[in-house]
Amino acid sequence: MKYKNTTDYQHGDTLKVGVLLVNLGTPDAPTKQALKVYLKEFLSDPRVVEPTFPRWIWWLVLNGIILNIRPKKSAEAYATIWDEVGEGSPLMAISKDQKTAISEHFKTQNIEIVTELAMRYGNPSIPHGLAQLKKQNVDRLLVLPLYPQYSAATTASIFDAVTAELQTWRLIPETRFVNHYHDHPGYIEALAESVKKHWQQHSQPDQLVMSFHGVPKRYLINGDPYHCECHKTGRLLAEKLGLSKDQYRVTFQSIFGREEWLKPYTMDTLKALPNEGHKHVQVICPGFAADCLETLEEIAEENMEYFIEAGGNEFSYIPALNSDPSHIILLAEIITTHCGHWLKKDAPNYKLTAKLFKQMDE
C-alpha cells in the first residue's frame, strides 16, 4: 500500500481540530466544456443515479447522449446567474463567504478550529480540502455536509468520497460526520426569521411553497429518510410561522427522467395554484444552504414564469440562508456541539513529542 504524503510529518507538531464544510459543487465556468466535465462526475456517481437497469446501459446513455446534449443547455442556464452573487458561481461565492464567516466566528469565541471548504463534485475537491487540513496538522476531523436533510444521494455520497480519500492516508484522523440537522431548533428559527424579513418587504402570501430537491420515489420506498425529513422541516417551519395546513405546501423540484419522483412536483403545484384562487405565492427552498442554479434560475425565474402564465399575480423567491449571521451561528453551533470534548480546556493534549517517544522506548 502506497500512502499519500501531502506534508512531512513532524512528531513535535501541535495537532488541531479541523472541519471540512462540503456542498454539492459547481462547474468552473459557464461553458459547455466545463459543464461536460462537471456533469460527468456528478451523474457518474452511483449514489446519485441508481438505475433500475444494468449500470453499463446508464454509462452508454450518459456518455453517448446526455453529455452530448445537456452541457450546452446547462451552460446557458449558468450564464444567466454567473457573477450574480459575488464572483463566479453563486454557490461557490456564497460557500467561500460562509467558510470565512465561520472561521471569524470561532476566532471571536477563542475557539481553535481549522476550517476548509470542499465540493463533492468539481473544485475544490474533497481530497484537496482534506489535504489542506492535513497540512495544518489536523488530527480530529469533523465533516459537515451542508445538506440539512439526509439523503443517500447527497450526504452518503460525501461520506463515500471522504472515506475513500482517508483510505490513502497512513495516519487517519479521529473522524466524526454530521448526518443531518433538518429539525435543529436554530435551523428552524433561522428559516422562520428569513421568511418574516421577506414578509416585511413583500407582505404575507396566499401560499408559502416549501420546495425541496426531488429524488425518485423508489428511494423513499427503499428506506431513504429524505422525504420524511423534508416534511418534518416543513411542518416545524410552518408551526414557527403560525401557519395553518392550508397556508403552505411541501413540494419537490428538479425532476429528471420518466420515473416517478417524490410528489407533489413544484412545477405542477405552481401551475395549479392560480386556478385554486392563490394569486400571491412565495417559494422558499429550505434544503439549500446556499443559493445556486436550482434556486436562482429554476425557481426564481423558470418556475415564476409557470406561475404567472397560469394566472398568478405576484411571485417571489425567499433567498437561502446563505451567509446570514443566524445561519453562521447555527453552523458554528452544530460544529461545536459535534466536536464535544475535543474543544474542552481539559481535553487530552494530542501533541506528540520526542520526550513521549523516549519514554516509550524506555
> Cell digits for 301?
425565474
Residue 133 has pLDDT above 50, yes or no: yes
C-alpha to C-alpha distance for 162 and 20, rounded to whole angstroms: 10
Number of C-alpha atoms within 13 angstroms, CB side, residue 246? 3
Position 258 scores a pLDDT of 83
Residue 341 has pLDDT above 70, yes or no: yes
Task: Give me the residues paired with residue 140 across strands.
Answer: 17, 174
C-alpha to C-alpha distance for 45 and 158, rounded to whole angstroms: 11
Higher pLDDT among residues 208 and 51, named by residue: 208
Kindly list the domain boundaries of the chain, sorted by start residue.
16-30+82-180+324-343, 185-318
Per-residue pLDDT reduced to its tens digit, 250-296: 999 988 888 999 999 999 999 999 999 999 999 999 999 999 999 99
Q: What angle do CA 261, 35, 48 make, to 5 degrees?
A: 30
> Cell digits for 17?
481540530
Give Dmax over CA atoms of the chain in angstroms: 83
Confidence of residue 9 (pLDDT cuts 50, 70, 90): low
Fold of 185-318: Rossmann fold (3.40.50)
Residue 105 has pLDDT above 80, yes or no: yes
DSSP H helix total and E strand total for the chain? 14, 8
Higher pLDDT among residues 12 and 253, named by residue: 253
Per-residue pLDDT reduced to its tens digit, 38-51: 999 999 999 999 98
Q: What angle do CA 99, 103, 109 make, to 5 degrees?
A: 145
> Cell digits for 309?
402564465
Residue 349 has pLDDT above 50, yes or no: no
Q: Does domain 16-30+82-180+324-343 have CATH number 3.40.50.880?
A: no
* Ranges of H-type helices in 205-256: 217-221, 226-241
C-alpha to C-alpha distance for 324 and 302, rounded to whole angstroms: 25
If you average pLDDT over residues 160-189, what whole number do you get? Answer: 96
Return the sign of the alpha-carbon dihedral for residues 48, 52, 58, 59: positive
C-alpha to C-alpha distance for 13 and 31, rounded to whole angstroms: 44
Position 85 scores a pLDDT of 86
> Cell digits for 226?
429524505
If you average pLDDT over residues 228-232, what whole number do you get? Answer: 98
185-318 shares the fold of 16-30+82-180+324-343: yes
Per-residue pLDDT reduced to its tens digit, 75-99: 999 999 999 888 889 999 999 999 9
Q: Judge whether 221 and 260 are in contact, CB under 8 Å.
A: no
Q: Judge whether 262 and 217 are in contact, CB under 8 Å.
A: yes
Per-residue pLDDT reduced to its tens digit, 285-304: 999 999 999 999 999 999 99
C-alpha to C-alpha distance for 49 and 38, rounded to whole angstroms: 15
* Ranges of H-type helices in 109-225: 126-135, 155-166, 185-202, 217-221
